[in-house]
Structure formats: C-alpha cells, structure tokens
Structure 1
Amino acid sequence: MTSTRSIEGKGLHFPASLATDESGVIIAPPIETLPMIAAAVEPTQLLYFAQRLIRGVNRRRHQLRWSAINEQRLELARLCIARAMSDPQTGFPA
C-alpha cells in the first residue's frame, strides 16, 4: 500500500483495500477512480507519490498477485507526473 497526503490533509492510500479474489490476486479498484485519486494528492507531494508508486511496482514486479495493482500504480504515477508538470504549485512551469 502506498500512502501520501491529500489536499484536505488526510491520508490517501493506494490501493485502499488489499482484498483478494479466489485465486489470491489483489483486486484492483476501478480504473475510473485513478484520475480522482491523482487529483486528490497534495500538489507538493505529486512527484514523491509517483516515485513511491513506481518503487512499489519495482519491488513486486515478479509477484503475480500484485499484477493488476502494479498496472494501476504505473497509470496513477503517470497521471501524477502529468499533473505535476501542469500545476504551478509544484514548482514546474506550465
């Protein structure tokens, strides 16, 4: 589970649940929720959160039970990086 701070100052966790299916694979949240999660991350934490997501994928890249989550972690990291590059609060030019 990867955590960061939300815009409201609360904890934000991905994935929110480690529930598994009958084969033991961790159930990924709906893909439609990823843009909402990326939008909820504190602007100053975007790149750090993306880095932590990518490190999580790297640590669990050979574990089949994490495969669906790993795909979503990479997509969420991409969304966070895109937002960081377009958000002036992160220190990057628009």
Structure 2
Amino acid sequence: LNVLIHTLQNWLVPKLKAKPIRTASGIAIIALQHSGNICVYCPGGPDSDFEYSTQSYTGYEPTSMRAIRARYNPFLQTRSRITQLRQLGHDVDKS
C-alpha cells in the first residue's frame, strides 16, 4: 500500500503543481516591496487613487498586494510568499 501511495504521489504532484518552471532551477525568486517615496512620474502614492500602494505601482500587482497585506514588513512578505509556493506544490526547503 505504501508503494502504491508513493507511486501515485510521484505521478500526481507534478501534474498539480502550478507553474513548475518557477522552481525548476532550484531557485525560487521572492519579490519584496518597500513603502516607497514620492516620484512625480509614478502613479501610486498618498495623493493618488491608489493611496495604499508604493509610488511606482498601482497596488493591484501580486507583489504589491502581498506587501500591503504585510504592511510592507519584509519578513511577513517573504514568509507569505514561501507559504504560497509550498501550497502550490513547489519545493521550498534549502537542501
């Protein structure tokens, strides 16, 4: 039974993994975002319709949404992204 479960797992997990190319090289890129500064050319910032985003983003990008949820805390952003990658079936341990 254990062999059958292991064989099924080896067959099924790669098919369920979302975007396997993200970690195919063994490296997972984790994007972080800080709260930013004022820039006259950028759409975001405190005086715009996108008030909770950093200056050069609208706030609707995946990295921006993670940063806003984590209140721009780099540790929380990293932990959240690693958890997401793990839930999508990517190998996130450094071994």
Report the TM-score, using the length of structure 2 for normalisation. Answer: 0.27
Pick the structure with greater CA Rg.
Answer: 2
> Larger helix proportion, structure 1 or 2?
1
Larger relative contact order (Cα-Cα within 8 Å, sequence gap ≥ 6): 1
> Larger strand proportion, structure 1 or 2?
1
